[in-house]
Amino acid sequence: MAFVICEPCIGVKDKACVEVCPVDCIHEGDDQFYIDPDTCVDCMACQPVCPVQAIFHEEEVPDQWKDYVEKNRAFFQK
């Protein structure tokens, strides 16, 4: 998995990340956006445009949001 969208996105769901993604790997869920790890090309275009700084590389997700790594993975296993 490359990038993960964490808690700050919940309730905000600003689409700036979706608009800049060159491979359309960001998908809208009920409460937040999710990044498809099989489609993401690690271009990092989404990270600087997120107005709530909710996007992290999987290895850099803050400890308090580590469960979002699994939440993102589970979203694409439906």
- Model confidence pLDDT, tens digit, residues 31-56: 999 999 999 999 999 999 999 999 99
Single pTM value for the model: 0.93
| Domains by residue range for the chain, with CATH | 3-75 (3.30.70.20)
Q: SS3 letters for the chain?
A: CCEEECHHHCCCCCCHHHHHCCCCCEEECCCCEEECCCCCCCCCCHHHHCCCCCEEEHHHCCHHHCHHHHHHHHHCCC
